[in-house]
Amino acid sequence: MKNIMILMVMVLGVSFLLVAAGSQEVEDNGMVELVIPHYKAGQNVGGKFFLPQVDRFNALYDGTYRIVIEELPQDGYQDKIKLLAQMNKLPALIEGVGDTVWFEDYMLANDRVQDLKPWLDTKPHVKGLLLDDALEYNTRDGKIVSLPLALARPIGLFYNNTMINPSKPIGEMTHEEFLDMLGDQKIAFMTSENAWTTNLFYTSLIAAEPGGVEMLQNGVEEKIYDYTGPIWREATTNLQKVLQDYASGNTLGAAYADAANSFMSRRSAVIPNGPWMVGDFAPDSEDKWSNGFSGDQVSGDVYPGNFAIANVRGYNWWIPNGLPERELEAALAFLEFMMSPDELEAFMLVEGGVVPKLTLSEDFLTKQKKNPILVDLATTINKDTRLAPLFGDVVPGSIGNMEFGKLLPKLIDGTFTPQQFCEELTLKAAETRL
Amino acid sequence: MPINRIERRYVPFAYAFLLPTIAVFLLFYLIPIVTVVLTSFTRWDGFSTPTFNGLTNYLRFFSQSSFLISLRNLLLWSLIAATLHVGFGVLVAFVLFQKPKGWKAVRGVYMIPNIVSSAAMAMIFRFMFNNDFGFLNSLIRLVRPSFQVNWFFESPWAFVAVTLTWLFYGAIITLIVLGDLMNIPSDLHDAARIDGATGFQAILRIQLPLCRYAIGTSIILSITSRIAMYEAIALTTRGGPGDDTMNIPIILVKAITDLNYGLANAAAVFMFLMGMFTLWIINRLFRMNNPIY
């Protein structure tokens, strides 16, 4: 009896451990459910289009596939993906890579990414829409490692045309003229999260320096670790001046929501941001407006010096290798769904951008004309507009996403001179190397 | 002490009941700790096979610009934790021990921050310390209208702001000390009263010495919490402005995001050793191996 009791205690103990340490998978009746962690949810501006798009997909494939979005904060998304990759628990669909060094050195080098080429070869209606540059960039050793972009969305800025009244398009101004025109008005900057709006304007300041655009363009292929050169020093000097004289009052510690709120409450006249923000200026977003702000007060333009931020040479949606067949089918079905003309047009109406290889429908053109900001953005880009990738995309991930924003308060309060700021950033970048 | 025949019959039961604990310890503590220590001497990106690189990770860790600042912050926070933080928790315990009117309600309210997650607390403090609409600055502006401080994002206030996120939340300390206070035999108090001891003398000569274990344990808990403090920083300053509020866990997580697991584990080993050192020194200082009664 005693031995039986001992045995029972041991079995119970070990069973408890096995249950606690194991995991369970729930199978639905033939339906594949993909749980996708993503930041385009909740209050994130990208969720305005993405979540309804997921709903449309689920409705279309009702009973076959279902996508469930697990909400994540935007600045934690890439870190979460890295951790999931480390645990070999990547979701079936991942958007972007944030840190290209990580993607290339670990995911691609270890053959952990699904080759999309065989699938794209069977989908000429999808492949035919892809931008040549994007396709070339995503083709590695004959494999297509992420879904190349079909849509280009140059990032510029938005301004409140009742607060400032540019005498000519901002793209035709220099930075000095632009700042003079601002007068006492402010720009919605931020230092928290990845300091996104500041990151954008800093990129335009780098691009304004001789050789700046080329340096940024080259940085896509080979990350930049040294920020002590004259381009960086000059751009940082100008950034310090802009942050000290033209930054909105809440810049220190501001996250994206704070910067957007500053603009949509007329406390700032300008916000650097991409066309996806257009959705916030639509009448159905008026709950976000205050202090007399209205979406029809907003105009869009490129940065001074006729510069816009765009990088089609990057990684987009990708699928990890080794998914069960049905999950892979579901993931590919979602990619195909997103690339359908209806979805691309719906996307452009909400978040702007252009799909050069898509023949636009009359319905789309009629609807687009009703949104003057989208028309603004479409017409400000011309053949002379210089395009380059974002500063955050040409430096190591933790520099663009974390260190830059962390150091900004010291640049603003003058603790760091521009040179010290650049040196500190260079030091931090060196520490990221293995 | 030798065991008798009857006790010996129950030895297998004792081992059987210990088995789950031993297995949990092995699986979730010992094996990971050994893995962390071993891989801290390797170059490891988390994917490929770790390759031995000697002390390289430790040298890199100690030579990082943010390491010395993290160490300075840790020492300051440990000092503040051991004195002000524990002191406040002990003070509240002694006040509650007097059982003033409403003491149970106060004890309950004092526990509330402990049932709110650290992440939520960090967000609450971000709002409280907001320069534009935060409670603290609004209060200060009643007497100084021009007051402008971005607590979490300006030097040297960021350090102060991060400290304030935990400084006065010592409910666990209060409960531990209160438990010891309530266990003091009443005849000791009676004897002191008969001998003519004042209330203050009773606290100083009887209650405080008899709470030595509880206070020592509280200091250990408090300092080790500072060594492992992550959410309060990651969700407020992220170690900034600059490196003003950096600490070792932030360095560790940053190394993980840069896929430098060898370096991250060197930081983890350092944290582990700091924890052990704290345990050893507080044990010695508070003579925690000596019986109280």
User: What CATH class does A156-311+379-431 carry?
Assistant: alpha beta
The CA-CA-CA angle for residues A187, A188, A194, to 5°, reads 130
Give contacts of B259 with chain A, Cβ < 8 Å: 82, 102, 105-106, 434
Q: Is the Cβ pair B257, A397 closer than 8 Å?
A: yes
Helices (H) and strands (E) in chain A, counts: 19, 11
Q: Averaged over A294-323, what is the pLDDT?
A: 93
pLDDT at A26 over 50: no
- The string of pLDDT tens digits covering residues A77-94 is 888 898 898 888 999 999
Least confident of B5-9, B122-126, B227-231, B275-279: B5-9
Chain position carrying tokens 């017409």? A379
pLDDT at A20 over 70: no
**Contacting residues for A151 by C-beta, under 8 A, at least 6 apart:** A344, A347, A348, A353, A354, A355
Q: What is the pLDDT of residue A23?
A: 34
Smallest CA-to-CA distance from A222 within A431, A1, A429, A416 is with A429
Chain position carrying tokens 């315990």? B93
As a whole number of angstroms, the longest Cα–Cα distance in chain A is 96
Q: What is the pLDDT of residue A327?
A: 95
Give contacts of A252 with chain B, Cβ < 8 Å: 131, 150, 153-154
Helix axes A341-351 and A47-60, enclosed angle (nearest 10) = 160
Q: Are A92 and A34 in contact (CB under 8 A)?
A: yes
B254 touching chain A per CB within 8 A: yes
- Closest to A17 (Cβ–Cβ): which among B20, B126, B130? B20
What is the pTM assigned to this prediction?
0.79
- DSSP-derived secondary structure letter, A227: -
Q: Is the Cβ pair A110, B47 closer than 8 Å?
A: yes
Q: What is the pLDDT of residue A4?
A: 53
Strand A94-95 relative to strand A139-140, pairing: unpaired
Between A158 and A384, residue with greater pLDDT:
A158
**Contacting residues for B148 by C-beta, under 8 A, at least 6 apart:** B131, B137
Name the minimum distance, in Å, from the CA of B178 to any CA of chain A.
35
Mean pLDDT of chain A: 89
Which of the residues B39, B44, B148, B150 would you substitute to probe the A interface, choosing the one with the greatest number of A C-beta atoms within 10 Å? B150
Per CATH, the number for A33-152+313-369 is: 3.40.190.10
Q: Is the Cβ pair B132, A13 closer than 8 Å?
A: no
Residue type, B143: V
Q: Count CB atoms within 10 A of the CB of residue B18.
A: 12
Q: What is the pLDDT of residue A76?
A: 80
What residues does each domain of chain A span?
Answer: 33-152+313-369, 156-311+379-431
Q: Are A193 and A405 in contact (CB under 8 A)?
A: yes
Which of the residues A9, A189, A265 would you substitute to probe the B interface, choosing the one with the greatest number of B C-beta atoms within 10 Å? A9
pLDDT classification of A354: cutoffs 50, 70, 90? confident
The Cα A329–Cα A119 span in angstroms is 10
Smallest CA-to-CA distance from B275 within B234, B239, B225 is with B225
A244 touching chain B per CB within 8 A: no
- The string of pLDDT tens digits covering residues B1-40 is 677 888 888 888 888 999 999 999 999 999 999 999 999 9
B8 touching chain A per CB within 8 A: no
Q: What is the pLDDT of residue A14?
A: 46
Q: Is the Cβ pair A407, B155 closer than 8 Å?
A: no
Q: Is the Cβ pair A9, B27 closer than 8 Å?
A: no
Sign of CA dihedral B144, B145, B150, B152: positive
pLDDT at A61 over 70: yes
Name the minimum distance, in Å, from the CA of A434 to any CA of chain B.
6
Q: What is the pLDDT of residue A8?
A: 54
Does A156-311+379-431 match A33-152+313-369 at the fold level?
A: yes
- Closest to B260 (Cβ–Cβ): which among A397, A405, A434? A434
Give one word for A253, left, alpha or beta, with left for phi > 0 and alpha for psi -120 to 50: left
Q: Averaged over B163-191, what is the pLDDT?
A: 92
Radius of gyration over alpha carbons of chain A, in Å? 24
Share above pLDDT 90 across residues of chain B, in percent, rounded to a whole number? 71
Q: Are A299 and A169 in contact (CB under 8 A)?
A: no
Residue of B nearest to A432 (CA): B258
Q: Is the Cβ pair A9, B16 closer than 8 Å?
A: yes
What residues does each domain of chain B span?
Answer: 13-110+170-285
pLDDT classification of A329: cutoffs 50, 70, 90? very high
Q: What is the pLDDT of residue A29?
A: 65
pLDDT at B76 over 90: yes
Name the minimum distance, in Å, from the CA of B2 to any CA of chain A.
23
Q: Are B264 and A432 in contact (CB under 8 A)?
A: no
Q: Which of residues 173-232 of B touch A (CB under 8 A)?
A: none
**Interface pTM, i.e. ipTM:** 0.77
Q: Averaged over B166-172, what is the pLDDT?
A: 91
Q: What is the pLDDT of residue A75?
A: 75
Share above pLDDT 70 across residues of chain A, in percent, rounded to a whole number? 93
| B13-110+170-285 fold | MetI-like fold (1.10.3720)
Residues B52-91: b if buried by 16+ CB within 10 A, e if exposed: eeeeebbebbeebebbebbbebbeebbebbbeebbbbbbe
- Closest to A9 (Cβ–Cβ): which among B17, B64, B259? B17
Q: What is the pLDDT of residue B104?
A: 86
Name the minimum distance, in Å, from the CA of B224 to any CA of chain A.
25
Q: What is the pLDDT of residue A87?
A: 85
Give contacts of A397 with chain B, Cβ < 8 Å: 257-258
Give contacts of B241 with chain A, Cβ < 8 Å: 406-410, 413, 415
* A-B contacts (CB, under 8 Å): 111
Q: What is the pLDDT of residue A17?
A: 42
Give contacts of A86 with chain B, Cβ < 8 Å: 46-47
Q: Averaged over A91-115, what is the pLDDT?
A: 89
